[in-house]
Structure 1
């Protein structure tokens, strides 16, 4: 192999030297291996390694030289010698081949022009009398089909299928990329010569147009009326306390707590957006958010005069005289009036009258006993009589007299409901 290289190099150099002695045919013509440079007005070397297809065979590499080229082993090294005008290939002790080459001298006079050249198939002679490649794709001299793409080659051309198509026989058919290894994360849609990826609902294509990433709907447009929670590929809505999701699973509707139970409030329930509240009748206050408790106006504020005493009852209060006794009775204790026996008028009147005030709840079942008094046995042979003296103008109360064990008692019963007037019971010769 080394001898072959040396022979080629010597042969080429001889050719170059012989060209310098030939006569010039025309001023713009150059010898083989050279072409006219209109800018520098001289002949310049042609790089055959660039224009000759497959210049070297058998794995050899092409090295351009004056007026020709060399085919050298792939392992050959090239050394440029500025002081010598020879080119040689040498091998030292089994080392890689080395090529010494003297670079072209730009001041060397151009070689003498030579005759017309013969170009290989696929090449044509240029105005500079060199062989240049014919672009069959540009000139339309190729024979590619309408569904094929013409690719120009050095000295030839190739008919190939467009991207996304494959050759089947003489035709180009579409490549179904969706049947190949997965290009798409979720779904693949084949198109003529290409494809594109789609994502499932709740996802969107990433910048690479292949991967699907989750859409955070809560950050994007927050479709929920109140609370939004993002999940993979979707979202869920929740409502604040006191609301419930509507049928569309997005909006929230107020819960009417007052309709869920009749016992949620002791007196009355008032529904409000997202909540409820309990109210009590006049004279009561809410305790513990749901229970009604009587307001003791006698301990807070009332309109009783100094000569009156305040009596609290459920839902209100009453002002009563501090001295309920009327002539000829005199007050002997807080609520007892006594008619003195020394007074002749008292002989026909009850000896004592006891005043008692009580509250009667309006929600008590009727008829029911309100209170009971019993006749005294202090005075023997005493005739005891019971009657309702006042407060029963509407007939809501009645008196039931009974004798048990020789003792007479009277019970005042409530006949009707929601009674605000309290009866005054008068008993002659009796005690409570």
Structure 2
């Protein structure tokens, strides 16, 4: 093979080799292509509303693919096009269909934006009160109450100038209110037009009615009558002086004055002795003439005495009976003590196993709850007894642990840690008891009734204090343990069927 044939063969072979190489590269690229899932880009801004006002307008927006699906990736779900209702605010009136309802606004037009003034005052279509003045305004009108009336124009009430003190009557005149105005009339003993009044001198004019043995004195708007010396009365009638009534006698303050013709007598009141002009108090308590009960205290008073039953007795002082403070519940014995009544008092004695003076009683947690052992595992904080088991005590699931704590009375429950002080107390308490060998303990917190809605054993919500170690999902874990190490203490959510040691919380008893 020579010449052109050889050259053709060489070129052909070279092309075949190149094509074979490109095909292999293409196959390699096909094998390495990665699927790209479609994702939505951000929404565009909303378009303009299709109507200017009313409630039938719509507006739209779109969103692009960013990126589109490729290499067999999942396509985007949903639509790239969104429409919603819209309308613009009616400047006057209310939305109605594709426009606005202009009724009663004084405006016209699709959007109630064209002033169509109507003179409601002239047409008599206003709502002004009968005693108000109507003034037309563009698109509306105003109402102002007339002089002498007050209100908003639609409702007007008469101003009582007399009651308000805005009248101009004389201070010695009587003001009489009238619709929208008032009148003035001078009072008795004065004369004038009501706006100016002058005093009548009844004594000079002889129009008074004083007794003949009395003296008349003129006063503004009237007169006064006073009986002459040696007489007494109101001036219109005068009689002989009654020194007792007039207080001109010389009787002691603790004596009774008795009037007599031209004179008077003085007699000491009961409880006093003397000549009437001088009277001294009688001390019935010292003289033993009182009638107080033996269990009462006698206290002398001016002219008499009082009897008051002694402490521990009740009655009117003349008769006193013992008060049973125990039966009436007025004793101050401790709630864990027994009250015993005594004459005029009572005594208190602490009930077993409490000790004290009866007014203050206390007991150790181990004495109150002998069924929980070992006793050394008790701790007391804020008058609450806390107990944790030893490593020998059988571990229980959450429900049985809660039942076990409740079976010992005293409102028993699993420990409820509602603040940092209780958390710190239990952390330190466990260091010297069960916590030496055990790390996790059931406490009284769960969300068994409502997922994520944690409640304490007493029914109260979790509140703002928690020490959860993790926020991990817990669909099948609903009960909480206190987990502690040497340095820290946290809460963990566990399966309620798991068995752990537990911490009981009971009433401290004082």
Q: Normalising by structure 2, report the TM-score.
A: 0.23
Greater RCO (CA < 8 Å, at least 6 residues apart): 1
Q: Normalising by structure 1, report the TM-score.
A: 0.26
Task: From the two aligned structures, give the one with the greater helix fraction.
Answer: 2
Structure number, greater radius of gyration? 1
